[in-house]
Amino acid sequence: MRFAHTGTQTRGALRYYAPRICAPYLDVMCSMKLDRPRISVDFNELMEPDLVLLSQTDQRLDSDGEKVQLSVDAKVYIYEYNKYDDGECELFTADGIVELNDKTINKNAKWSCRIDTNGITTKYT
């Protein structure tokens, strides 16, 4: 499998191939490692400063390929990875609590993640 994507394309490719490819891809391409298994999200889908869309279904695979069952008030660890044309990589991570999505804001997702008070952490290379 070859990753010739950059920027926004990389985000889409990682989401398509994630999670089994995503975590090793982070290690090889940018020497960034996740501190724990995390669920991939798109922080561009923030509905509030501390609320991001999480899933359309009751299960997601984490970065280690393990199934995570989503339920109200479950603790989750999330991330987003981006690689840009200039070679810079960024890794966003956050921890939060699962909430049922408010369908008046977004009709497609069932679950959202309420990010805790530590907020979103960003690492660059």
CA distance 122 to 114: 17
pLDDT, tens only, 24-51: 444 444 557 899 999 999 999 999 999 9
Domain-wise residue ranges, the chain: 7-124
Q: Quote the tokens at residue 121.
A: 């952490």
Average pLDDT of every residue of the chain:
82
Predicted confidence at residue 7, as pLDDT, reads 45
With residue 68 as reference, give the H or E element that holds it.
strand 67-69
- Tell how far CA 109 is from the center of its chain: 14
pLDDT, tens only, 73-101: 999 999 999 998 888 999 999 999 999 99
